[in-house]
Amino acid sequence: MAENEKAQQSRKDYDPSLDFFSEKFDPLKAILTPGVSPPIVDAKVYDNTSQFYQFYLNPNKQIVKAGSSKSQERHTEPERKWLPHQLPIPSKRKTRIEKNVLTNMETIKGPIKLLTKCKDERIQIKVWTRHSHGIRGYCIGYVTIFDKHWNLGLEEVTETWTRPKRRKIPAGMEMQECEISKGRLVPPPIKVIKSDEKFETCERHIDQLVIRGEQIVMIALLCTGAK
């Protein structure tokens, strides 16, 4: 009796729309109804109906999913197989030596190389300078730096030059006597060592001085004892 009641109850609960083997099967209702499981639990899952249709037409065909390693191998471009003698020749890249004024002073060639000796051996030099229409004067000092354009950096310099006597600023006037605002550099004092009717010869001492190459007329060594 109990078995008959269960059979009758199962017939009442039977819904053909939830039967996977029924012609009235409703897949949407089966998805939305809780507790409904497919008859084959370990059935293969497809990404879409197109994949299932391909498998249905050709069950032996292997379907490759997008993004898999096999699909990437298919889409890779063919590469040419080079023979050993066709490969590019490996070359060692030469390290570029950084060049600047300091390195150029050591490797410079020509007559200007004598300035390297003056710098290393602390030899005093005399540099004649010019103005727009003649010789302006000369500077005596020690070379600290130079370049191929004859730009010089000197220290402990004694500058002597000639200038017209008639000027707006009186000769020998020291800048310390003028009112100078704070933060401005004070030029070294100028000393007049010789004077005539039109010109006067002045002299001053400068700790450091830069002379442009275009203003240089000639350079001479004052002491060549060190070799």
Question: Which residues does residue 166 pair with via DSSP β-bridges, in sequence order?
Answer: none
What is the domain class of 102-167+188-221 according to CATH? mainly beta
The pLDDT assigned to 79 comes to: 73
Find tokens 């600047």 and name the residue.
Answer: 100
Residue with the bigger pLDDT between 161 and 47: it is 161
pLDDT over 50 (residue 177): no
Give the confidence band of 50 by pLDDT, cuts at 50, 70, 90: confident
The pLDDT assigned to 141 comes to: 95
Taking the whole predicted model, whether its pTM rises above 0.75 is answered as no
Residue with the bigger pLDDT between 70 and 193: it is 193
- Residue 152: CB atoms within 10 Å: 24
The pLDDT assigned to 174 comes to: 47
Tell me the CA distances in angstroms from 163 to 37, 96, 128, 138, 157, one per residue in order.
113, 49, 15, 13, 19
Average pLDDT over residues 121-130: 93
Q: Identify the weakest region by mean pLDDT among 1-5, 77-81, 105-109.
A: 1-5
Tell me the CA distances in angstroms from 129 to 19, 74, 136, 164, one per residue in order.
112, 79, 6, 16
pLDDT over 90 (residue 110): no
Average pLDDT over residues 179-187: 61
Question: Mean pLDDT, the chain, as a whole number?
Answer: 79
Domain spans of the chain, in order of start: 13-57, 102-167+188-221
Instruction: Report residue 30: phi and psi, to 5°.
Output: -65, -35
Which distant-in-sequence residues (6+ apart) come within 8 Å of 221 by Cβ?
114, 118, 123, 124, 125, 126
Contact 54, 47 (CB under 8 A): no
The b-or-e profile of 46-73 (16+ CB within 10 A means b, else e) is: eeeeeeeeeeeeeeeeeeeeeeeeeeee
The pLDDT assigned to 129 comes to: 95
Contact 180, 209 (CB under 8 A): no
Average pLDDT over residues 42-70: 74
